[in-house]
Structure 1
Amino acid sequence: MSQRIRVQTADFDVAAEYQRLAQTSSCGAVVTFSGLVRELVDAELEALTLEHYPGMTERVLEQLVEQACKRWQLGEVTLIHRVGRLALNEQIVFVGVAAAHRKAAFAAAMFIMDFLKTQAPFWKQEHSSTGSYWVAAKATDKQAAEAWQEN
């Protein structure tokens, strides 16, 4: 199993990341997820600022991928998370998983995203029409991560 983990300010190319994953030997499935900055329900979002703890963040991301690799037989995993100020509709995160079988690829990608939202040391500040504020983890994100404990 091979993994590529990056925390960066620059955008990423989903097609290029997919092509690299698709070259994995004995790969029968590639599952990718790309998260975007989305509008808020109760205010007009202008931008999002993501901060992290360099070194620690990468290590936590590595541990999440390692946990996924212990649960499923994976060929290659790519995890990219952006930091800095991001505008509406910009890409924030990319998770790509190549595996011999689709079920493992889908499950591993969901597992990584669910734990990324609750365990990775990122801090998110939303800038909206009503002001700027730091965002706490959502209860639904915690519930999604806890559901993996039961499996």
Structure 2
Amino acid sequence: MPKIRITKQFTFETGHALYGYDGKCKNVHGHSYKLSVTVIGEPISDNANVKYGMVIDFTDLKRIVKEEIVDQFDHATVFNKNTPHVELAAELQTRGHHVILVDYQPTSENMVIDFSNKIKARLPHNIALFSLRLQETDTSYAEWFASDNS
């Protein structure tokens, strides 16, 4: 059976700041992110299966990505926990803000790597993550491809 790729798209709002950066992005700011998740696999060939003809049910893929990425990052502020931004993060948290501390500089490039690991860990064994595209602005995005990372 041929392999087929399917893609589901997601949107979420996230703030961040790039500690030590030499431009405007050193300031706390936000983006309306668009995440495209593409998986690859063989469509189910058992016509007795309710998901006959599907690689993965879009609803199942949506649940994974929402739980691992969208529900976590939407309306959160992301900081590198290995910088003095931890002090700002602590202050925001005491005021009831949703803050995520990560082990990396929260660029689109590093976020898409983090997202790939979270999604791959949740996919069924017969489905592979093919690619991710994290669009930060209308004209800027980072992409992750399994073929580049094997």
TM-score relative to the length of structure 1: 0.28
Higher relative contact order (CA 8 A, sep 6+): 1
Larger helix percent: 1
